[in-house]
Chain A
Amino acid sequence: MDFYLTALLQGLCYAGIAYGIYISMKIFNIPDITTDGSYALGGVVTGALLTHNEPGYIILPAVVLAGALAGALTGFIHTKLKINALLAGILVMTALYSVNLTILGRSNVPLLTMPTLFTSIVVTTNVNQNSLFILLAFVALVTIIIGYLLKTDFGIAMRATGNSEPMIRALGVNTDRMKIIGLAIANALTALSGYLIAQQQGFADISMGIGIVIVGLGSVIIAETVINWLQITSVWLSLLLVLAGAIIFQFVLAFTLSIGVDANLLKLITAIFVLIIVGLPRLTTRSE
């Protein structure tokens, strides 16, 4: 049972990445893979600041700002230098590897003894349950902020930017600026996942981001399958499905491990799992 509770905690931690990918991929239609770098950036900023005994109210804004900067940089390279979004993301992600190493000072920093987000508030004495409460509150807050943002006039303009650029430009929106802001928000959310995971697992590692983009993609694709299937247009429902996607994704991985699959094969299993959820709807529509 504890096994699945851990998976749930992980899924909640990954909600940030899932929302980030949802914004970049589904709302802006930009394949952004700065993710790997900005996730690790969130983790190492948390680790570095915690070891310097900085208080939580400094760490959280610092993580958000760092992630936003990384995303804005990708956005800037993509829109102003007219470089393919995928390449722009790879460039920033690669550069971030060195940045992360510089920030952290070494490749791994343990945080187990530090006063983290999860030790600062005590609701129950059971560590995992306590983390669950904190994570639920944290993710609920993030969901409400993103949901509200998408409902505002600015949010509608964001959604239109990814949908019909000529239209939204003719309605007075600077689409380049909009994309830069969008990628900044997406990567700030991704960095939040790094922030949570580093504190939840008790260490920051510069290689923690490798291949993490698949977690966000998988979550969004699970959500998208349901969204298309039930033709959901509500912003709130879509966000909740993305969150559910992130949790389901971790459950599937936990399940694979629990039936005794070699942990070294985990990334392979992850890739195959995502392939199945992407491929299945297409295969079934073709046979109709």
Chain B
Amino acid sequence: MINLENVSKTFNTGKPNQVNAVEGVSLQINSGEFVVIVGANGSGKTTLLNLVAGNTLSQGGKILIENTDVTRLPEYDRTKWIARIFQNPLLGTASELSIIDNFRLAALRTRRKGLSIGKNDAFKEQVRQKVASLRMGLENKLEQPIGTLSGGQRQALTLLMSVMDECKILLLDEPTAALDPKSAVNVMAIADNLIKENNLTAVLITHNLRDAINYGTRVIQMSEGKVIRDIAGEEKAKINQNELFSWFD
């Protein structure tokens, strides 16, 4: 599904504060895999995710999505495959717009936002049912600005929004880092469900080692811009928290 061939990203090249955020990473992520990336701060996790999303462009190397070369493609042209969940719940939604408006845009992620009014009654009913499935009581607040909701609610809605339109890859950058423990557990459970139900290929960055153990089919550790551990399948299932913790020594 995703092929990274020797991708790199250096910030402030040639200056004293040069950072080699990602250094020659090659990685193949198969369709339906749920990859968890762990690593210390500054190890290049987020930059790697941004390279896949197209938020930053790779210096050298190649990025393929479903065998299409997307290396030079800007972020907004990669959205036909990719949906993103940001660490900051404020970034994933437009706070002044209503819940329904946010969902309308999400429903058009892979398509043109044209000059017709698509926010009709049928669409509203569809969103109402999806939102009701969260059991947060938000289905009657669809016209409310999404900024009036809590971070946990917004993050849960953002997850739902990602599957409003055809989605193949879900990128989650510490989606629960800004949430309270209970909301965090809730949001991760919703994410895991969505990934399984829709058979998505997912990449999750997390600092929560329990999540790294509980979720995903493969775990990758990054350090100083490189992939230093890559464990999948049954081996991944066997990893316990102490062992994972020892990776960081």
- Interface residues, chain A, with chain B CB atoms under 8 Å away: 148-149, 151-154, 156-157, 159-160, 163-164, 166-175, 233
Contact = CB atoms under 8 A, between A and B. Distances in A.
A39 B103 CA distance: 37
Given A148-B117, A153-B114, A156-B97, 6 more contacts: A149-B115, A159-B101, A160-B105, A164-B94, A171-B108, A171-B109
A206 B80 CA distance: 48
Interface in B76-105: 76-77, 79-80, 82-84, 86, 90-98, 101-102, 104-105
A8 to B, nearest CB: 32
Given A153-B108, A157-B105, A172-B76, A167 B94 contact: yes
Most buried by B among A148, A168, A172: A172
B148 to A, nearest CB: 10
Interface of B: 53, 55, 74-77, 79-80, 82-84, 86, 90-98, 101-102, 104-106, 108-111, 113-119, 143, 145
A112 to B, nearest CB: 39
14 contacts: A153-B108, A153-B117, A154-B113, A156-B104, A156-B113, A157-B113, A160-B101, A164-B90, A168-B105, A170-B53, A171-B105, A171-B108, A172-B76, A172-B79
A167 B83 contact: no
A154 B114 contact: yes
B113 A153 contact: yes
Contacts, number: 93
A80 B38 CA distance: 36
Contact of B80 (A168, A170, A172): A172
Given A153-B116, A153-B117, A154-B113, A168 B94 contact: yes
A173 B104 CA distance: 13
B181 to A, nearest CB: 26
Contacts of A148: 117
Most buried by A among B53, B96, B143, B145: B96
